[in-house]
Amino acid sequence: MSDRDAILSPRARAGLAIFLSGLPDMLVARLAHAIECDRAAGGTGLPHGEILDVLRPRLRRLYESRQRERNILQQILETLLREVRNALPINAMGRVGAHDAPLDLSTVQDEKKFRRAVGFAQILSSLGGPAARFGMEDRLLEAKEEVASSVGALARGLVREIRAARRGDFAESYRRSALALCSHVMNHGELEELRRARPVI
């Protein structure tokens, strides 16, 4: 505790702990950051140390939980991308592999992008096999906040490879899957262009 921190009575300290323990997870990290900034700026009206002592265990649990979620989603997407590559014709596999890049889930915390990533993973699971094969459904439910910032780019790259590899029945099944995938990541004009596309025999 800093010398500048406000001093709390035992009763006030207990009340503060009860209040802080009831905060939603989404506010905990923001509050901790604000308190640290206020203390660094020389603020004297708050019990900085008391607040941070209560928040620190929750911050640790949140960090560990998000690390697990990040690892789960990364494993799912990488597994499914590998399954899609293996399902492509030989001439397309090389192109997909050449443009493949590791996913980075370490910095993005965007709920909208996460939902898009989940949709992307679900579509890919339909290409590679039943969702249950990878324990997809349960594991996706566990991953609630983290997402790869590159999911949109990966999806577009996959669609380009699907277009390039279109042949007969293979092409039509992939075209239908690509349409479902693209509803998450492409604008209306791009989606219409793909919808009008037909396999090249």
The domain ranges of the chain are 10-64, 66-196
Long-range contacts of 118-122 (CB under 8 A, 24+ apart): 118/143, 119/181, 119/183, 119/184, 120/77, 120/151, 120/154, 120/155, 120/181, 120/184, 120/185, 121/73, 121/76, 121/77, 121/80
pTM of the complete model: 0.39
* Integer Cα distance of 127 and 35 in angstroms: 48
pLDDT tens across the length of the chain (201 residues):
455 555 767 787 788 788 888 877 778 888 888 888 888 888 777 788 888 888 888 888 877 776 776 666 666 666 655 655 555 445 444 444 444 444 444 444 455 555 555 555 555 444 444 434 444 444 444 443 334 444 545 555 555 555 554 444 445 555 555 555 555 545 566 556 655 654 333
